[in-house]
Each structure stands twice: as C-alpha cells, then as structure tokens.
Amino acid sequence: MKAAVLHEIGGVPRYEDFPDPVAGAGEVIIDVQAVAVENVDRAIVAGTHYASARFLTELPTIPAFDGVGTLPDGTLVGFANPRPPYGALAEKTVVGAASYALIPEGIDPAVATALATAVTAMSVRTAAGFVPGETVLIQGATGVAGRLAVQVARLLGAGRIVATGRDDDQLREVRALGADAVVNTTVGDDALARAFTDAKGDGYDVVLDYLWGRPTEILLRTLVPETFAFGRPTRLIQVGQAAGRELTLGAESLRTSGVEIYGAAKGLDAERMGAVYGQIVAWTRSGELTFELATVPLRDIEAAWQRTDLRGKRLVVRP
C-alpha cells in the first residue's frame, strides 16, 4: 500500500510503499478515507509533544493517530489509536475492535475529521456553564478551532463575541463568521491591554482560550479591578497553547478579579460527550456550522505537511 512514511523524528513524512497491515486477534483493517493533519500531529512527529514517545515507538512509522475510514463491510467509521507503526496517513491501517465508532449518516468523511475540533468549542457550556446572552472572548479565533468556536458561540446564543488573532485580514473574516469585535494581539503590551479593556463592554463572562502565553497573561492583568469593588466573574477555559505553554499569573489576578480557570475537559463524561457530539452533528447537517477545509491527496503529503498558507483551514488528506 501507499503511505506517508516517517523515517526519523523531526523529519517530513514521504509518500512511499509500506507493507499492508495484517489484523491480529481483536483487530480490524480500516480503509482510510480522510485524515485531518493537526498541530498535535506535527508536534508528535517533531518529537516535541509529551505523547511523542507513545506514538513513535519504532521507525519507520506512519504518522497521525485518528481519521475516518470504512470497515471491511463498507461502514463509515471514525477510528483512533492504530497499532504502530500503522498510523492513519495511509491507504489502510489497523485498529482494535473497540477503537472505532460509526460516523452519522449525511456527514462527508473530510468534514467528519474536523467534528472533534468543533467539540472543543462546546466547553464554553460544558466547562464554563455558559448562559445565552453572555459575552464570550475567543483567544486565537483565526485558527481552525477558533473559527469554529466563533460559530458555536453564536449558535449557543452569545450576546457578544470578541475574537483575537494576529492578522487583520483574517480577523475581518472572523467578523463575517459572527464576531462583534476583534483584537489584534501583535501590538505592544500596553496597547493590547487597552484593546482588551475597550472591547469587553460590560465584561467578559467566558474566555475560550486557544492561546495561553503572553496574550492571556495580559488579559488576566486587565481583569484585576482598580477599586475594592468585587470584580465581575470571568470563567476562563484553557484549551490550547498556540502562544506559549506558560504564563506568569499574579496573585491579584485570582484574588480580587473573580477569574475562575478550568480545563476544557471539566464537566465531561461519556454521556455528556455524546450529547455534545450530537449537537455538533445536527448543526453540521443543517448547514448552520460550516468547516473550512484544504483537501489534498496522500501523494502530496510531503509538500502538504510543510504548508504555511492554510489561514484557518483544516488540512485534510485523502488517500
């Protein structure tokens, strides 16, 4: 079979022949239909992700640990955790019998690869207890997940949406998706603090944070009240770290601001995750939630892996 083959940690996968997988006891062969290449996949291949050692147990190997494909009987499924070295970026892969789930009817395989990204945006409700009419700040709204989050916040009934990003052209596109105000985070620290303050209106109720690092550090400073009055509560949901994995958090940022910080997984269990996924699927089927994809054939994986021009589109590889 053909596959994207990685020969060294930190390298670029190449389109090559690779032995077909053979199913063992309790395993099934998947004919791959579509795979989303995400930042986490690149980080694992680079050896910089904490899970790299788990997925790069032997070389050569095939990257990516989830995707959409068909079972031997043609049933369309989403799959995860292929047996190394058989990752998802190949014509075929092999997974355990408990490592796949049916894809709902009416969902294109390429779109199905991005549904999980939209699910993260639902943490404004599952983790933060969002109430319709509240103000939502989305940190990192020009990325794939951030653009979906703007749409999800609007569909959930946000009263006001503020979106941040690093590119004015892309921020204009985010406005078209439903953001009421935008903030460019490339400005100096003082200017960024003023922009956060000017855009917040009556205050930020929920912050969905795909950035962390410098922008969030400055945001938290702006939420410290200037008087002894109680600050308006702000629930911050930590999802990603596109701007840095660490920040300096002053004690006053929590002590008097009313800020509460949660991880995106707070409030989730199997039942609630199923309900969240069902809502994303319903919005997708109705056309209320749209996905921007850049679809490429597997044979172009080497060039696609190194693309820097996606501008908020999810890269999807189809064998």
For the chain, domain boundaries: 2-114+291-318, 119-263
State phi, psi for 2 to the nearest 5 degrees: -95, 145
CATH class of 2-114+291-318: alpha beta
Letter for the amino acid at 154? R
At 102 the pLDDT is 93
> Could you tell me the mean pLDDT of each successive run of 10 residues in the chain, 319 residues long?
96 97 96 94 89 86 96 96 96 95 93 93 95 97 96 98 96 96 97 97 95 97 80 89 90 85 92 92 95 97 94 94
Task: Give the pLDDT score at 230.
Answer: 65
Largest CA distance in the chain: 68
Q: Do the two domains 2-114+291-318 and 119-263 of this chain adopt the same fold? A: yes
Q: What would the pLDDT profile of 234-263 be if each residue is shown by its tens digit? A: 999 999 999 998 999 888 888 878 899 999
| CATH T-level topology, domain 119-263 | Quinone Oxidoreductase; Chain A, domain 1 (3.90.180)
pLDDT score recorded for residue 297: 98
- Check residue 228 and give its pLDDT: 66
Q: Evaluate if pTM is beyond 0.75.
A: yes
Burial (CB count within 10 angstroms: exposed 0-12, middle 13-18, buried 19+), residue 214: middle
Per residue in 178-222, pLDDT (tens digit) is 999 999 999 999 999 999 999 999 899 999 999 999 999 999 999
Which pairs from 52-57 meet CB under 8 Å and 24+ separation?
A: 52/9, 55/84, 55/87, 56/6, 56/9, 56/84, 57/84, 57/85
pLDDT value, residue 231: 61
Those residues with Cβ within 8 angstroms of residue 23's Cβ, 6 or more apart along the chain or in another chain: 29, 94
In whole angstroms, what is the distance from residue 35 CA to residue 264 CA?
23
Q: What pLDDT score was predicted for residue 229?
A: 66
Both structure tokens of 238: 């930590």
